[in-house]
Amino acid sequence: MPEIIVKDSAYDYAILKRDIFDIIDAVEGAYAVKPISAGRHVLIKPNLLASAHPDKAITTHPLLIKAVVEYVLEKGALPQVSDSHATFPKSFSQVVKDCGVTESLNGLPVTLKEFTVSKKVSALRGGGAFTPDTRYNTLELAEDALNADVIINLPKLKTHTQMDLTLAVKNLFGCVVGPRKPQWHFNLGENKELFAGLLATIHSVLRPEINIIDGILSMEGDGPGTGGIPRRLGVIMGSADAVALDMAVCHMLGIDEMSLATNKAARDKGHLVDFTIRGDMKYIGDYVFPTRANLLFVPRFAMNVLRQNLTTRPMNIEGACKLCNDCVKICPAQAIENDTKRLHFDYDKCIRCYCCMEVCPHRAIKVHQPLAVKAIKKIVKVFTPG
């Protein structure tokens, strides 16, 4: 059964390095042959999706990445740190500089580069299974990730307005290169279960050997971008199994593990869903999850008609918006227009993926709840016992 190693930790480098080394040693113990050894090519995949200071809790902390790189170097292996960011037209080198990664890795013999080249791969690689939905049977993923001897997955613990949380399995979506990411969002629309199926398939293909989540400074509220609120949890957790790690995070935050769509999708693909905990697990009963309205009792045919008034949606905060166009460029549905004075959202086109919130550098997009949603929530509260 997969083991979750839990550590109270901090962004004090001496403490963090000790804790990271302890976690990787423990996780490597789960394998008959330790994955990280001399000459092996180790791909380190943090969350470097957006150009953001570490205090914003949007990206994996640069000191955590540094500690992992130092571990890999000590073993004589060859580290590469890569991601595919979403803040165009910023360059990858600008993003990693803004995230503090360039400075933290300064002087270390590590390759720091963007994923740029994709390779087609069958969903059967890594022992995965085809799903009834054939659109996942062939994926295009970063060649560097597919060719690596070992993958170390370093997600940030954050809320996500579409997917509830973005954890270890979701972090691997960064191995989809550049514009293919919005294409997937657009093709799968606002169906969270379909998107979770894609994420579970990507995970089954890549199967990172080591997963460590950065929950020292996490994000709650309307994440995963500047709309969320940083919250210090002071925890890092590691495992050889990304799905088990995500389940343990749900457990820590007091939600049903199968309420996270990626966990359910992984289980439906036959992934073992169980874990044991080593260390003192915190229990957080007041974590703030994103504002959203999943009106599951509305029939699907009616949903199409009622979605304008019965689903949450992104909304521009005009005073805060700098009209920088980052959200316009990332929107997979081309639902945002900039008329040079203000932004206009086309909610018929919008698929509620919240990529725009994720990339906005100025906290200028919020989640809006239509009045009908607020009214229904009040009614449900009144008629819900306890």
Binding site for ligand SF4 (CB under 6 A): 314, 316, 321-327, 331-333, 335-336, 343, 345, 350-356, 360, 362, 364-365
CB of 318 to ligand SF4, least distance (A): 9
CB of 336 to ligand SF4, least distance (A): 5
DSSP string, 98-111: HTTHHHHTTTS--E
The strand pairing partners of 212, in sequence order, are 238
Of the pair 72, 356, the CB lying nearest ligand SF4 is at: 356
CB of 54 to ligand SF4, least distance (A): 20
Max CA separation in the chain (angstroms)? 63
Of the pair 306, 317, the CB lying nearest ligand SF4 is at: 317
Of the pair 73, 323, the CB lying nearest ligand SF4 is at: 323
CB of 199 to ligand SF4, least distance (A): 17
Nearest CA to 271 out of 215, 195, 205 is that of 205
For residue 386 the two structure tokens come to 């306890």
Of the pair 41, 362, the CB lying nearest ligand SF4 is at: 362
User: Can you tell me the distance from the alpha carbon of 107 to that of 115, in angstroms, rounded to the nearest whole number?
Assistant: 22
CB of 260 to ligand SF4, least distance (A): 20
User: Can you tell me the distance from the alpha carbon of 35 to that of 148, in angstroms, rounded to the nearest whole number?
Assistant: 11
Of the pair 267, 362, the CB lying nearest ligand SF4 is at: 362
336: left (phi over 0), alpha (psi -120 to 50) or beta: beta
- Phi, then psi, of 8 in degrees rounded to 5: -75, 130
How many of the other CB atoms lie within 10 Å of CB of 261? 23
The 3-state DSSP class for residue 191 equals: coil
User: Can you tell me the distance from the alpha carbon of 246 to that of 59, in angstroms, rounded to the nearest whole number?
Assistant: 17
Of the pair 16, 364, the CB lying nearest ligand SF4 is at: 364
Of the pair 245, 356, the CB lying nearest ligand SF4 is at: 356
Of the pair 171, 226, the CB lying nearest ligand SF4 is at: 226
CB of 352 to ligand SF4, least distance (A): 5
User: Can you tell me the distance from the alpha carbon of 369 to that of 311, in angstroms, rounded to the nearest whole number?
Assistant: 7
Q: Where are the beta strands (DSSP E) in 222-364?
A: 228-239, 276-278, 313-316, 336-338, 343-345
Angle of helix 192-206 relative to helix 261-268, nearest 10 degrees, comes to 60
DSSP type of residue 51: -
CB of 328 to ligand SF4, least distance (A): 6
Element (H, E) at 324: none
User: Can you tell me the distance from the alpha carbon of 292 to that of 312, in angstroms, rounded to the nearest whole number?
Assistant: 5
CB of 196 to ligand SF4, least distance (A): 17
